[in-house]
Amino acid sequence: MKIIAWNSNLLWKITILIMVGLCINTAVALDGSGTEQDPWRIQSLEDFNEFAADANYWDDYTRLETDVNLAGKVYSTAVIAPDTNNSTWYFIGTPFTGTLNGNNYTIHNLTIDTTGTNNNYYIGLFGQLLSSTVVSNLRLQNVNITGGTDSTYVGGLCGANGDCDLGIIAGGTISNCYFNGSVTCGNSSFSVGGLVGLNCWGTIQNCETTGSVSGNDYSGGMVGWNFYGTISNCYSNGHVAGIDSSYAVGGLVGCSESGSISNCRSDGYVTGGDNSYAVGGLVGEQEDGDINNCYATGSVNAYDALGNLVGRNCNGNISNCYSAGMITGKSYTIGGLIGYNYFGTISSCHAADSVIGGDNSARLGGLAGWNEGTINNCYAAGTVTGGISSSHLGGLVGRNGRTITNCYAAGTLSSGTDSSNLAGLCGFQWGYYAQMSNCFWDTESTGMSVGYNLSSEEPGTIENVFGKTTVDMKKKGTFTDADWDFINVWNIGENQTYPYLRVYLSSDINKDGIVNFLDVAITANKWMEGVE
């Protein structure tokens, strides 16, 4: 009996020890309490894994307190707040609604690969963020995301910031975040970005992306689709590649719909494929909305409707912006600043790009390829070059169907043999509502004695449009005689410079009173010193 009692007692003790050991080994609760004053603290890779696996953390305050290296791990869904049912097009799962302060630490070597699976939605470090979310001060280094053929809402930081599928639920705030790596999706993909796939009524500010993005429709270096969202003080540099028939591809944003983009810059290389449409160095397509105080200095190579700042502007406003890069188009509607301005407004902007069209190309302009909106107080100083049998080439605009006022062109214009409708200011004007007034072109620098060509059927109207010598183009009186505003809008170095826009004086970097193409109205406050 003693032996039996002793064995039973020993067995009971061993059982208790095993249970205690199991509890110790499996419970990896994070330090903290999840409040703003005492956030959950991620202090190791094990802590990160615990945080990523437990949705109970996702509506609280969390702070990163170490770098996290995910090398050797390949995910097949978003790491945090993933979509849990890829048989539906809308998000099913628990979104992230909390606050994550990256504390300027870095998540290294994130790899997500969904190759071979169908209906891949909401792919990124986070699957979906919603309105109360704040993700800040987070660096993502050496990210590698490979989406399937039909991937939708894919980004390095998050697939979707907000919800535009089941009603409209606003996204949160993403600030002071950095992305480096690649996001690659297939030929039926939609809404693909280096940082964010979809920004739906969300805010993105003081962020930077470098690396490469490849996708089909709505692909951007930072954001694929900006829907009523706000993007400010952001910078993108890398290669954004649209697949063959891609639509809306941009260096910073693929498509911005009723959104606001301000104080942003893109320096990357954007390509659109052989049958691409609406490709821009900063934004592929803007529908409604505003772009203000932005610039692009990279290069764009695509097929139709392309510009170094915006490919197509539909009902949107573009102001205080400029572009200075190279735009190479294979076909139609190619402009230094913008390809196609459709019922939009462009004001106080300039372009200093090299615009190059292939053989049989049409509608090439130093500022805009085709204008069906309003352009005022703008100028173009770059070169426009067409191939063999090209048509509708202008120093400022290739083709005009609406309104151009108080503008000038001073860049070189040339084309191949058998080309037609070349002019120093506007290659071809057509339409009942078409009009140009108080505009000039430099007859010497453009190489054009003809400033515009008019349709014989509906020529529109021309008023106070003149060609001037280079000497006269550098005289204030040339322009004040046409009622140009040299108090609020324009300035000039008498007998030294062409007119330039006063808006850039407020951000004269060297404070020397000399405006050049790097003194742009941008106030981006880089949180990461030395990176650019």
Beta-carbon contacts of residue 510 (< 8 Å; ≥ 6 apart)? 519
Helix (H) or strand (E) holding 112: strand 111-113
Residue 461: inside a domain: yes
Q: Please check whether residues 209 and 328 belong to one and the same domain.
A: no
pLDDT at 120: 86
Question: Could you give the CA distance from residue 474 to residue 508 in angstroms, rounded to a whole number?
Answer: 21
Whether 343 is covered by a domain: the verdict is yes
Amino acid symbol at 244:
D
Q: Give the separation between CA 414 and CA 394, rounded to whole angstroms.
A: 9
Residue 230 included in any domain: no
How many Cα neighbours within 13 Å face the side chain of 65? Answer: 13
| DSSP string for 252-317 | SEEEEES-EEES-EE-SEEE--TT-EEEESSEEEEESSEEES-EE-SEEEEEEEEESSEEEEES-E
Asked if 202 and 161 touch (Cβ cutoff 8 Å), the reply is yes
User: What is the token pair recorded at 35?
Assistant: 């409040």
Within-domain flag for 524: no
- For residue 87, is it within any domain? yes
pLDDT of residue 520: 39
474 found inside a domain: yes
CA-closest candidate to residue 382, choices 422, 331, 322: 322
Number of domains in the chain: 2
Q: How far apart are CA 114 and CA 185, in angstroms?
A: 9
Q: For residues 378 and 391, what is the distance between their CA atoms, to the nearest angstrom?
A: 23
pLDDT of residue 13: 38
Nearest 5°: phi and psi at 9? Answer: -65, -40
Structural domain contains residue 182: yes
Contacts for 282 with CB less than 8 Å, ≥ 6 apart: 250, 251, 252, 253, 261, 264, 265, 266, 291, 294, 295, 296, 308, 309, 310, 323
Backbone angles phi, psi at 13, to 5 degrees: -65, -45
- Angstrom distance (rounded) from CA 65 to CA 415: 59
Tell me the Ramachandran region of residue 288: left when phi exceeds 0, alpha when psi lies from -120 to 50, beta otherwise.
left
**Among residues 215, 244, 259, which one ends one of the domains?**
215
Q: Cα(277)–Cα(112) distance, rounded to whole angstroms?
A: 29
Burial degree of 49 (CB within 10 A; 0-12, 13-18, 19+): middle
Which residue among 183, 215, 247 closes a domain? Answer: 215
Specify the DSSP class assigned to residue 29: P
Which range marks the domain in which residue 78 is found? 34-215
Q: Is residue 297 part of a domain?
A: no
* pLDDT score of 31: 96
pLDDT in tens, the chain (532 residues): 333 333 444 334 334 333 434 333 344 589 999 999 999 999 999 999 999 999 999 999 999 999 999 999 999 999 999 999 877 788 999 999 999 999 999 999 999 999 877 668 999 999 999 988 999 999 999 999 999 888 999 999 999 999 988 778 999 999 999 999 999 999 899 999 999 999 999 999 999 999 999 999 999 999 999 999 999 999 999 999 999 899 999 999 999 999 999 999 999 999 998 899 999 999 999 999 999 999 999 999 999 999 999 999 999 999 999 999 999 998 899 999 999 999 999 999 999 999 999 999 999 999 999 999 999 999 999 999 999 999 999 999 999 999 999 999 999 999 999 999 999 999 999 999 999 999 999 999 999 999 999 999 999 999 999 999 999 999 999 999 999 999 999 999 999 999 999 886 444 444 444 333 333 333 333 333 333 3
Q: Which two tokens stand for residue 62?
A: 């969390």
Report how far residue 150's alpha carbon sits from residue 120's, in angstroms, rounded to the nearest whole number: 7
- Residue type present at position 64: L
Residue 432 in tokens: 């009942």
Other CB atoms within 10 A of residue 526 CB: 15
* Structure confidence at residue 119 (pLDDT): 67
Last residue of a domain, one of 184, 215, 246: 215
Amino acid at 215: G
Angle in degrees, CA 436, 441, 445, rounded to 5: 160
Residue among 260, 159, 139, 286 nearest 215 (CA): 159
CA pair distance 508, 92, nearest whole angstrom? 50
DSSP state at residue 480: H
Q: Whole-model pTM? A: 0.90
